[in-house]
Structure 1
Amino acid sequence: MEPAAKALSVPWNGPAIGLLDLDAFFASVEQLDHPEWRGKPVIVGGDADRRGVVSTASYEARQYGVHSAMPAATARRLCPNAIWTHGSFSRYREVSNLVMDILVDETPLVEQVSIDEAFFDITPGRYSKESPIDICRRIQKRVASLGVTCSIGIGVCKTVAKIASEMEKPRGLTVVLPGTEAGFLAPLPVRSMSGIGPSGEAKLIRMGIKTLGQLAVADPSLLERELGSLGVTLRERAAGAERSRVGERAVEEDPKSISNERTFAADLTREDEILPSLDALCAMVARRLRRKGLAGSTLTVKIKNTALSSRSAQSKLSEPTDDESAMSPVARELLEQLWSEGDPVRLLGVGISNFMEQGPRQLDLFEDPEVERRKSAMRKLHVATDALKERFGDGAVAFGREMKLKGATTNTQPQHKEDD
């Protein structure tokens, strides 16, 4: 690892892959939009007394030990004077898109991996003869002009770039020059590499492998026996030899599934509580389908009774749809397979998959024209409410089911995934 200033004098020979990571992103956007919050501990997350969790904490709050995914009640005890907000995912997406546009200005090879992270390829000679380090510094300045900051790691591959981006935060630029990646990775603990979770780390430690350097020279047959084909892949990455491509940025890549789930502040036990919430989740999923111009044909309902226990059921729809009026009856039937009156429901989720592009629908010759008319009228109503929400915000118009769901949940802001 070289300081950026020293590395500037060294020619860059080989691939140059960067990873941009926005610093404490949700909290940074809140401090941007609320200047009076700057320099103060800010926590974006759900309510402490409603089973909420922390989505993001500002660096001021992190000094108290607060971190993402921490129970909100714990965070409140650690930092009782923090400023709390439920946040606005649409606002975060807006700022994220501006950052991604900056990257695309520099190279068409941009691969967004989450709302606040993206790989980019700035290999010299491909789209520019400039120093990759100069390009990274320019990216950081342009991002800062938006009112948020980022940290960047750069090396010969995604694995090195990802780890390097976490070395100096906030506002860090960590450069791993070509040819130095093995030495950079070798002393690091195995857990520092993405793809190795707690169970994988435990297996490796039982094998006597604690560092990436040890993993890079481990017996491939032993790794394959203990970890399957993943073991050989991890060995290659630990040596800095991974060379996966950075794909061109799509306008918006279609997901394999779309789902929404919510955790409730208090367990739901009655049908008149659960069914409106289920209908509201169907409406949220349907709205996202319409936004993407997709229709799905496989519906899934998920419930969680405790923090650890969850069950799900799915069903094929009679035809692909983007309309909650068609999804809700099937979701209710699936719920009957998973829940009995009186059983506690901590979390409820609805998902849809097996997509096709939504186009003009061919009428069934045997369908009642009046039924078809009602379906068409309901879909037009839903499309109209979509337009109002897009223009004036989610609170501009809401059905009663949506108000009931909002009032019952933990208000934790979703993050880092297609499912929100």
Structure 2
Amino acid sequence: MAKQHKIIHVDMDAFFASVEQRDHPEYQGKPLIVGGQPDSRGVVAACSYEARQFGIHSAMPCARAYRLCPQAIFVRPRFEAYREVSGQIRDIFWRYASEVEPLSLDEAYLDVSYTADYNGSATLIAKAIKRDILKETRLTASAGVSYNKFLAKIASDMDKPNGLYVIRPERGEKFVETLPVGKFHGIGPATEAKMKQLGIETGLDLRNKTLAQLTERFGKAGHYYFNIARAIDERPVRSSRTRKSLGKETTFAQDITSVTELTTKLLDLAEIVLESLAKQKLNARTVTVKVKYSDFQQITRAHTLDHSIALGDLREVIPMLLARTEAGKNPVRLVGLSLSGFDAGKSEDRQSQLDLAFSDPF
């Protein structure tokens, strides 16, 4: 019998707008639109939940958004800031998942089928990921948990914002039966309209069509529709890269000027990173310290050892790297620590891990 996969889809809540509201407290609780200006031909890249209450949504012309909500705040996108936060979030994903497949800056599929944390419970792992994201970025995420990518993505949208929705294996087919086809990932407005012309309104209606009928009308996509109507999706989660580093960072409620305090904070992060490294049976040789100042300028400093890094090494290296920054002179709002330069030759350990039986499915 094939092992049951455990897939999580994580989707940040109103990502661009939430980053702006986090970084600019005066925007909080107000309708905020990230994109072009009201008098431009630009479109809405993202908007806050407060703006959505006026019927505003992504890809809407900014001029129309302004007519719907003249009191809205319009800001230009800061893609560098969004990419930075996206990197933080992906580092969190890699703490728990064996495979991470980003779909964009603000969402990704995670395969946690072989994750031992929380006795292998995908639901508890999703809660931990959401908790880490909130703690380290001050942003909320919604997560969907299921046994394939199709259901996990739909689940993540069921209880937004800050939601967590689980579709267990025994519920998959029943869940799809009542789902409007417009809610199916992979069925856009044009296809939805075509399906409705054929009397296909729900997953059950779609399931009642034969494979021949679907391929005749929709071509190769008919195979996909035939399967998802039965809650079947065998697409694997595919990582776009091999993990090259593992790290953790923290943003302070108030800027810190004490080098001693910053050293202590970095050593606390170091213990967490080393523990994660040990769980994955990895050894690292390079340590990198990141420092972001109160003016949002950031730098990194790195040092490579000729042996695998231990906590004792970090007690010496961290103060040395901090001394190569402006810490102590300029106030610091964030510090981070990552370990990289992993030793090769761990494939045997990895294979033995993959051969383990699943523990608690969900």
Once residues 199 and 54 of structure 2 are traced to their aligned partners in structure 1, the CA distance between those partners, rounded to angstroms, is 34
Contact 2:96 2:115 in 1 (8 A): no
2:51 to 50, 53, 61: 61
Alpha-carbon distance, 1:251 to partner = 5.8
1:47 to 37, 61, 71: 37
Query: CA separation of 1:87/1:251 partners in 2, compared to 1, >3 Å: closer, same or farther?
Result: farther
Query: Is 2:243 the partner of 1:239?
Result: no
Alpha-carbon distance, 1:230 to partner = 1.0
Query: Is 2:64 the partner of 1:74?
Result: yes
Query: Is 2:215 the partner of 1:224?
Result: yes
Q: Deviations over 1:46-67 (max 9, x none)?
A: 0221211111110111111111
**Residue 49 of structure 1: SS of its match in structure 2?**
coil
| Counterpart in the other structure of 1:23 | 13
Q: Deviations over 1:290-334 (max 9, x none)?
A: xxxxxxxxxxxxxxxxxxxxxxxxxxxxxxxxxxxxxxxxxxxxx
Alpha-carbon distance, 1:242 to partner = 1.0
| Counterpart in the other structure of 1:89 | 79
Q: Deviations over 1:310-366 (max 9, x none)?
A: xxxxxxxxxxxxxxxxxxxxxxxxxxxxxxxxxxxxxxxxxxxxxxxxxxxxxxxxx
**Residue 130 of structure 2: SS of its match in structure 1?**
helix
Once residues 66 and 92 of structure 1 are traced to their aligned partners in structure 2, the CA distance between those partners, rounded to angstroms, is 21
Alpha-carbon distance, 1:78 to partner = 1.1
Q: Deviations over 1:151-196 (max 9, x none)?
A: 0011111110111111111000000011211111111111111211
Once residues 83 and 225 of structure 1 are traced to their aligned partners in structure 2, the CA distance between those partners, rounded to angstroms, is 48
1:168 to 159, 164, 172: 159
Q: Deviations over 1:71-106 (max 9, x none)?
A: 101111111111110120111010011001100011
For residues 2-401 of structure 1, the aligned pairs below 5 Å read: 14-123=4-113, 125=114, 127-128=116-117, 129-145=119-135, 146-250=137-241
TM-score between both structures, scaled by the size of structure 1: 0.55
Alpha-carbon distance, 1:238 to partner = 2.1
Among the aligned pairs, what percent are the same residue? 42
Once residues 92 and 126 of structure 1 are traced to their aligned partners in structure 2, the CA distance between those partners, rounded to angstroms, is 28
Q: Deviations over 1:357-409 (max 9, x none)?
A: xxxxxxxxxxxxxxxxxxxxxxxxxxxxxxxxxx89xxxxxxxxxxxxxxxxx
**Residue 18 of structure 1: SS of its match in structure 2?**
strand
- Counterpart residue type for residue 65 of structure 1: G
Alpha-carbon distance, 1:249 to partner = 4.3
In structure 1, runs of 5+ residues without a counterpart are: 1-12, 253-390, 393-420
Once residues 216 and 126 of structure 1 are traced to their aligned partners in structure 2, the CA distance between those partners, rounded to angstroms, is 33
**Residue 50 of structure 2: SS of its match in structure 1?**
helix
Alpha-carbon distance, 1:126 to partner = 5.2
Once residues 242 and 24 of structure 2 are traced to their aligned partners in structure 1, the CA distance between those partners, rounded to angstroms, is 30
Once residues 242 and 90 of structure 2 are traced to their aligned partners in structure 1, the CA distance between those partners, rounded to angstroms, is 11
Alpha-carbon distance, 1:198 to partner = 1.9
Once residues 111 and 238 of structure 1 are traced to their aligned partners in structure 2, the CA distance between those partners, rounded to angstroms, is 24
Deviates more, 1:209-218 or 1:86-95: 209-218
- Counterpart residue type for residue 80 of structure 1: P
Contact 1:107 1:127 in 2 (8 A): no
Q: Deviations over 1:241-296 (max 9, x none)?
A: 112111234169xxxxxxxxxxxxxxxxxxxxxxxxxxxxxxxxxxxxxxxxxxxx
Alpha-carbon distance, 1:199 to partner = 2.0
Contact 2:35 2:43 in 1 (8 A): yes
Deviation >2 Å, runs of 4+:
125-130
Contact 2:200 2:206 in 1 (8 A): yes
Query: CA separation of 1:27/1:121 partners in 2, compared to 1, >3 Å: closer, same or farther?
Result: same
| Cα RMSD for the two superposed structures | 1.9
Once residues 126 and 48 of structure 1 are traced to their aligned partners in structure 2, the CA distance between those partners, rounded to angstroms, is 47
Once residues 248 and 219 of structure 1 are traced to their aligned partners in structure 2, the CA distance between those partners, rounded to angstroms, is 34
- Counterpart residue type for residue 211 of structure 1: T
- Counterpart residue type for residue 220 of structure 1: L
**Residue 48 of structure 1: SS of its match in structure 2?**
coil
**Residue 225 of structure 2: SS of its match in structure 1?**
helix
Once residues 221 and 234 of structure 1 are traced to their aligned partners in structure 2, the CA distance between those partners, rounded to angstroms, is 12
TM-score between both structures, scaled by the size of structure 2: 0.64
- Counterpart residue type for residue 31 of structure 1: Q
Once residues 241 and 19 of structure 1 are traced to their aligned partners in structure 2, the CA distance between those partners, rounded to angstroms, is 16
In structure 2, runs of 5+ residues without a counterpart are: 244-296, 299-362
